Amino acid sequence: MTDRTLDTAPTKPPHPLQDIWRDFRRNRGAMVGLALILIVTFLAVFADVVAPYGPAEQFRDAFLSPPSWLAGGDPRFLLGTDDVGRDILSRLIYGARLSLLIGVVVVTLALAAGVTLGLCAGFFGGLVDIVVMRLMDIMLALPALLLAIVIVAILGPGLMNAMVAVTVVVVPHYARLTRGAVLSELGRDYVTASRVAGAGPLRLMFATVLPNCLAPLIVQATLGFSGAILDAAALGFLGLGAQPPTPEWGSMLANALQFIQRAWWVVTFPGLAILVTVLAFNLMGDGLRDALDPKLKR
C-alpha cells in the first residue's frame, strides 16, 4: 500500500531550463543550427591547430590554384588558393574567429546599451521615454546598412569601426524590445510588492523586472548574431570594414569580382561560410523563439 502511494506521488516539476531544452530539441532545424554553431566555434577556437597554414602564409608556386579534387588542383590546398597564393581553407578557418568575435562584441555592446536605454525609458517614462524612443525612431528611419556606412564614413574604415557602426545600428531594436517588455511587467503584482518592500529603482530595474523580460531579448540576441555577421561582412565587402590582409569573410570577397571568370572558388567559399554561419544562428534563433514563447507552446 505504501509502495503504491510512493509510486503515484507527484514528481518534482522539471526545471524551466529542462522544459525549454525539451521544446528546443524537438525542432530539427534549431538542432542543426546549434550543431553548426558548435562546429564553427570549435574551428575558431582551435584555428591554430586545425588550419593547415597561417592566414597570411603565401605560396609563390601556387597562385589561384583550384580546389584539390579538380584537374590541376594541388593536394596541399583543399579549397584552392587565392590570387596571392594563400590557402583559402586556412583563411576561412581564421575568418571564423573574426566573424564570431564580431557577433559577440556587437551583441554584447548592443545588449548593454539597448537594455539600459529601454529600461530607463520604460521605468522613468515622461520626458526620458520620449527623448530615448524618438532617438531610436530616427535611427530606425534609416536602413541599417546605410546608417552603418554613414558611421564608418565618419570614423574611417576598419574592423573596429565597422563593429562600432553595426552595434550602434542595432541598439534601437534592443531598446524597443526591452521597453515593451518592461511596460508589460511594471503593472504586475510582484513589482508592486517589491516596490512596497522598499527596493530602490536600480534593484527594481535590473534585479526584479529585467530577468522577466529576458525571453524576447535572448531570441533577439541570437538573431542579432546573424545580423551582425552579415552587416559586418557587407561592410568588409564594400571595403569599409576589415582591411585586405585580414581574413574576414566579407573582405575576402571584396576583390573577388575580378577573378570571377577564372577562379570560381575564390568567389564561392567565403560566401558559403557566411551563409552557413548566418543560417545557423537564424535557425537557432527561430528554435529558441518557439521554445521560449509560451503562446506557441503545445
Partner 1 sequence: MLKFIFRRASLVIPTFLGVTLLTFALVRLVPGDPLEMMAGERGLTPERHAELMAQYGYDRPLLEQYGLYLYELAGGDFGRSVVTKKPVLQEFFERFPATVELALCAMIFAVVIGLPMGILAAVRRGTVLDYAVMGTAVTGFSMPIFWWALLLVLFFSVNLGWTPVSGRLSAVYWVEARTGFMLIDSLLSNEKGAFGSAVSHLILPSVALGTIPLAIIARMTRSSMLEVLNEDYVRTARAKGLSPFRVVTVHALRNALIPVVTVVGLATGILLAGAILTETIFSWPGIGKWLIEAVRRRDYPTVQGGVLLVATIIMLVNLLVDLLYGVINPRIRHASERT
Who's near 22: CB < 8 A, 6+ residues apart? Answer: 14
Query: Site map for partner 1, 221-250, x if CB under 8 A?
Result: -----x---x--xx--xxxx---------x
Per DSSP, the residues of 65-76 read PPPTTSTT--TT
> What does the alpha-carbon distance between residue 297 and residue 207 come to, in Å, rounded to a whole number?
27
Show the DSSP H helices in the chain as ranges: 2-8, 16-26, 28-45, 47-50, 88-124, 126-141, 144-155, 159-186, 189-196, 201-202, 214-237, 249-252, 264-292
251 binds partner 1 (CB under 8 A): no
Q: How far is CA 187 from CA 55, 85, 200, 209, in A?
A: 55, 63, 17, 11
Which residue, 121 or 152, is less far from partner 1 as judged by CB? 152
Considering only residues 128, 145, 183, 214, which one is a binding residue for partner 1 as defined by CB under 8 A? 145
Least distance CB 14 / partner 1 (angstroms) = 27
Whether the CB-CB separation of 283 and 32 falls below 8 Å is answered with yes
Query: Site map for partner 1, 255-294, x if CB under 8 A?
Result: -xx--xx--x--xx-xxx-xx--xx--xx--x--------
131 binds partner 1 (CB under 8 A): no
Which residue, 144 or 177, is less far from partner 1 as judged by CB? 144
For binding to partner 1 (CB under 8 A), which residues are involved?
Answer: 29, 134-135, 137-138, 141-146, 149-150, 152-154, 156, 226, 230, 233-234, 237-240, 250, 253, 256-257, 260-261, 264, 267-268, 270-272, 274-275, 278-279, 282-283, 286
